[in-house]
Amino acid sequence: MTKLVFIPLTLKEQLVKKIESTKNENLLQLLNIDFDYFTGTGDITDGVSKDEINELQQMVNEPDDKDTLSRKEYRQATAAWRNK
Give the tens place of pLDDT for each residue, 23-60: 999 999 999 988 888 888 777 777 789 999 999 999 99
Q: Which residues touch 69 (CB under 8 Å, ≥6 apart)?
A: 77
Rounded distance, CA 31 to CA 38, Å?
A: 10
Q: Exposed, middle or buried by CB within 10 Å (0-12, 13-18, 19+), for 60?
A: exposed
- pLDDT at 2 exceeding the cut of 90: no
Q: Which position has the higher pLDDT, 63 or 19?
A: 19
Contact in structure between 71 and 64 (CB atoms under 8 Å)? no
